[in-house]
A = this chain, B = another copy of it.
Amino acid sequence: MEKAVRTPRRGGPRISDVAARAGVSVATVSRVLTGNSPVAAAKREQVLKAIEELGYRPSSLARSLSLGKTGVIGVVAPFFTYGATSARLRGIMDRAAPEQYDVMIFNVESAHQRHDAFVKFATRDRLDGLIVISLPVSDADVATLRRQELPTVLVDVDHRELSAVTIDNVAGGELATQHLLSRGHTRIAFIGDAPTPLGYTSSDPRYQGYQRALAAAGVGLDPALVWRAPDSTLDPSVGRGPHSRVEAREAVARLLEATTPPTAVFAASDMQAIGALQAAEQRGLRVPGDLAVIGFDDTETAEIVALTTVRQPLEESGAEGMGILLAELAGDGAIAGAVKVPLAVAIIERRTT
């Protein structure tokens, strides 16, 4: 019977070619490949020689299919270009590399992309594990993940059922606000992102911290001093999403035109803080003299522009997250409960306050 080759095979020799050339069975070749079972030294040599001569490379696809694991972990995040996100990603990759894990990234900047991404995760078996960065996760999402039995850890977001590495954002917001308060400011603006239909974002608790610090200091909250970016995560046409420097700049410019403008601004992200800095400059205001500004995250750019900010361990968050995932992946089956890793925040005082 003629064996029709459906698809013209791409790529080189397969394991059976090696076996034939070495005069052994594929099983034996597989054994020397995996090194799991003993093989007679002589045969092993023949196999190695055949592999060498043929330039044979095993198919990781076939291997994955057979083994039931792929050696790749997925990372979903909005805005990989934002400094904070790419720093976290670096932490993840640095930790994944020595363990021989590869990383697949999924950019999510719209509800549509988000849906696509989760559909992909639903397509079981492409990924051994998943790390979600800065993206709210719903109960439904968690249910899907569980159904696919896809080990998942969260970074910069939280969900009671999943492992997560986070910081105390309300404390961070409080810290930032207190910092400004302690310098005598009372008209402190808040610049951040609005809550999104997708759920909680870090702007929310930071805003809470702001409110709390104000209340504790007996300073009334002036709604006119609060601006939160409309959710552009859901509408890509609006722009490149939250943390938008340009939008923040315009918002602060508007605030500055008021009869009783703010004397300080607390921005929920460094990029937005920089927007505030630019608004001040446009108006010819001196920083921190006329306007004090504090940001959040401590991205590299913050250091460059000498922005006072609330530092959170960015690379470390990624590395920690990957560490937890690695542990879950290693402890096969033994589903430990959700691990929660809190990271500390701290004020980094530079030249804008």
A9 adjacent to B93 (CB under 8 Å): no
* Per-residue interface assignment for chain A, residues 71 to 96, with 1 indicating a CB less than 8 Å from any chain B CB and 0 otherwise: 01000000011000011011001000
Q: Which of B11, B62, B123, B147 contacts A58 (CB 8 A)?
A: B123
Is the pair A65, B61 in contact by a Cβ cutoff of 8 Å? yes
**Which chain A residues (43-62) contact chain B, with CB distance < 8 Å?**
55, 57-62
Which B residues lie within 8 Å of A72 (CB)?
104
Interface assignment of A10: CB less than 8 Å from any CB of chain B: yes
Stretch at the interface among A105-113, A158-166, A185-193: A105-113
Contact A123:B57 (CB < 8 A) given known A65-B62, A107-B97: yes
Q: How far is the CA of A225 from the CA of B62 in the complex (A)?
A: 56
Give the contact-size bracket for chain A. 35 or more
Please encode chain A, from 258 to 273, with 1 for each CB lying within 8 Å of some chain B CB and 0 for all others. Answer: 0000000000000000
Contact pick for A301, options B9, B89, B103, B301, CB 8 Å: B301
Q: Does A67 contact B (CB under 8 A)?
A: yes
Looking at the assembled complex, report how far the CB atom of A80 sits from the nearest CB atom of chain B, in whole angstroms. 6
| Distance A320 CA – B116 CA, assembled complex (angstroms) | 23
Cβ B124 vs Cβ A57 within 8 A: yes
Bound complex: CA of A105 vs CA of B94, how far in Å?
A: 12
A12-B147, A86-B81, A104-B102 known; A126+B60 contact, CB < 8 A? yes
**The residue from B11, B62, B102 contacting A148, defined by CB atoms under 8 A apart:** B11
A89 lies within 8 A of B80 (CB): yes
Asked whether A36 is an interface residue with its Cβ less than 8 Å from the other chain, the reply is no
Bound CA span A232–B104, Å: 26
Q: Is A7 an interface residue when CB atoms closer than 8 A count as contact?
A: yes
CA distance A170 to B84 in the complex (A): 33
The reply on A4 being an interface residue by CB < 8 A is no
Contact of A304 among B9, B125, B274 (CB under 8 A): B274
Asked whether any CB of chain B lies closer than 8 Å to the CB of A120, the reply is yes
Q: How far is the CA of A318 from the CA of B86 in the complex (A)?
A: 17
Chain B residues positioned under 8 Å from A245 (CB to CB)? 304
Nearest CB of chain B from residue A57's CB, rounded to whole Å = 5
Contacts A12-B148, A62-B65, A65-B65 known; list 10 others, CB within 8 Å.
A10-B68, A12-B124, A57-B122, A59-B124, A60-B124, A60-B126, A61-B61, A72-B104, A80-B93, A105-B105
> Can you give 13 A-B contacts (C-beta < 8 A)?
A10-B124, A12-B124, A57-B124, A59-B125, A80-B86, A80-B89, A80-B90, A90-B107, A97-B107, A104-B105, A105-B105, A274-B304, A305-B305
Residues of A whose CB lies within 8 Å of any CB of B are: 7, 9-12, 55, 57-62, 64-65, 67-68, 70, 72, 80-81, 86-87, 89-90, 93, 97, 102-107, 113, 116, 120, 122-126, 147-149, 245, 274, 300-301, 304-305
**What 5 A-B pairs have minimum CB-CB distances, sorted nearest first?**
A11-B124, A7-B68, A104-B104, A61-B65, A59-B125
